[in-house]
Amino acid sequence: MFDFAAARRMMVDGQVRTADVTDQRIIAAMLELPRERFVPERNASLAYLDLDVAVTSGTPARRLLKPMVLAKLVQAAEIGPQDRVLDLACATGYSSALLARLAGRVVALEEDATLARHARENLAAVGAGNAEVVSGPLPEGWPAGAPFDVIVMNGAAERVPERLLRQLKDGGRLVGVVGRPPASKAVLFLASGGQASALPIFDAAAPALPGFAEPPQFVF
């Protein structure tokens, strides 16, 4: 039988700790959460590998972020126990379960109805009672719950819509992967005085989020 507990420890020791993730709350949560529950059964043995694991079979497939990328993004967001967090593109809810261990409240946004249903089931199973799954278009964010202290984007965007940045509180943070490989980077956006500044934090690649492509450029 596959030893998921051992695989979980190896993921944390070999991928997360070695990537300068030092927040012990993140490490403890990743050691506790059964990531295999959040992927299809056929992919359960892949759950702890250093890759973006597919959770749908469509084209392109929706995927969970690599453990290292997710951990470093979450650490950069500096989430506190009173923070309200929007988990954008929560998929099956793994990132939301992690965030629920750190924040006061998590709003998990997903536009795929099947994924949203799985996220609700998974979050209930791991006791993430402070996480709520909502459904809507990803690029719109969740204005009904704004403003947020933190927004976490579970995937890559060629551009970050201004409407998302406007859903941050003053002093709020948005983290995600921006750009196209090989030039994509994890970026921290800081909201202040109605504006948002961008700070690249590490080189990263991530699955593209639907609806976040650059608009077509017209050449005359």
In a domain, 210, yes or no: no
pLDDT (tens digit per residue) in 17-33:
999 999 999 999 999 99
In this predicted structure, what is the pLDDT of residue 181?
80
Catalogue the long-range contacts made by 44-47 (C-beta closer than 8 Å, 24 or more residues apart).
Answer: 44/2, 44/4, 45/2, 47/4, 47/7
Read off the CATH number of the domain in which 173 is found. 3.40.50.150
In a domain, 215, yes or no: no
Number of structural domains the chain divides into: 1
Q: Is the pLDDT of residue 217 over 80?
A: no
Residue 166 belongs to what domain range? 4-203
pLDDT (tens digit per residue) in 53-106:
999 987 788 999 999 999 999 999 999 999 999 999 999 999 999 999 999 999
Radius of gyration of the chain (CA): 16
In a domain, 217, yes or no: no
In a domain, 218, yes or no: no
In this prediction the pTM is 0.95
Bridge partners, residue 88, by sequence: 109, 153
For residues 168 and 158, what is the distance between their CA atoms, to the nearest angstrom?
20
In a domain, 183, yes or no: yes
pLDDT (tens digit per residue) in 167-208:
999 999 999 999 988 889 999 999 999 899 999 999 999 999
For residues 36 and 169, what is the distance between their CA atoms, to the nearest angstrom?
34
Banded pLDDT at 138 (limits 50, 70, 90): very high
Tokens representing 69 are 């990328």
